[in-house]
Chain A
Amino acid sequence: AQSVTQLGSHVSVSEGALVLLRCNYSSSVPPYLFWYVQYPNQGLQLLLKYTTGATLVKGINGFEAEFKKSETSFHLTKPSAHMSDAAEYFCAVSDLGGGFKTIFGAGTRLFVKA
């Protein structure tokens, strides 16, 4: 069965500092991996996804993530945090073996300090 673990329910960074949100997954077949962002009382917006090919994936708003099979990780990074990045971030995994179902991690709330 698929599962996703996000390390750290809260992460706080200063504006301009590196953002690192951690995600580890388990999947019995090659996974599809996603990062979503959610602002208060809104739905989810896709930041980036990994399906096949290049393991370093670039997304919107300057975010990127690297798929590391040996570490079963898909950590999200951004070189320089902006105040508008403050939100809830969800890592998710999906695979064909799961019938296209997507399983979400518990989420990490990112705080950005001025």
Chain B
Amino acid sequence: GAVVSQHPSWVICKSGTSVKIECRSLDFQATTMFWYRQFPKQSLMLMATSNEGSKATYEQGVEKDKFLINHASLTLSTLTVTSAHPEDSSFYICSALPEGSTYEQYFGPGTRLTVT
């Protein structure tokens, strides 16, 4: 089956530093990937849609300068949290839409970010 990986699975960083999270589709190509954020005991909130070779589309209220998304290849999208603050601590989950698919996304295992 289609597998999506995320790296790292968890990360702790200090306030003011930047953190990069990678999302990879291991056995398929994905022209579109999505980034979600999940606070404890809450649902997934879509942050942005990442399309290979073009700029990401951010949801309303998401700071594009703070959450930098790069989708440089058909198998890799990265999310960089810049100048992280404790309120950025969250569970970040990516998903990938296989090339040619219109609905079935495959989700990564998530990355737990803690900012101290």
In the complex, the number of residue pairs spanning A and B with C-beta atoms less than 8 Å apart equals: 50
Chain A contributes a number of interface residues (CB within 8 A of B) equal to 22
Question: A43-B93, A90-B44, A107-B43 are known contacts. Are A102 and B105 too (CB-CB below 8 A)?
Answer: yes
Q: Is the CB of B110 within 8 A of A90?
A: no
Interface size class of B (residues with CB under 8 A): 20 to 34
Residues of chain B contacted by A100 (CB below 8 angstroms): 32, 49, 97, 102-103
Question: A32-B103, A96-B102 are known contacts. Are A44 and B46 too (CB-CB below 8 A)?
Answer: no
The contact string, 1 if C-beta is below 8 Å from chain A, for chain B 90-116, is 010101010000111101111010000
Residues of chain A contacted by B95 (CB below 8 angstroms): 44, 102
Residues of chain B contacted by A51 (CB below 8 angstroms): 103
CB distance from A34 to the nearest CB of B (A): 8
- Chain B residues with CB under 8 Å of chain A are 4, 6, 32, 34, 42-46, 49, 57, 91, 93, 95, 97, 102-105, 107-110, 112
Can you identify 22 A-B contacts, CB atoms within 8 angstroms?
Answer: A36-B107, A41-B91, A41-B112, A42-B109, A42-B110, A43-B4, A43-B93, A44-B93, A44-B95, A49-B104, A51-B103, A90-B44, A94-B103, A99-B49, A100-B32, A100-B49, A100-B97, A100-B102, A101-B34, A102-B34, A102-B46, A102-B105
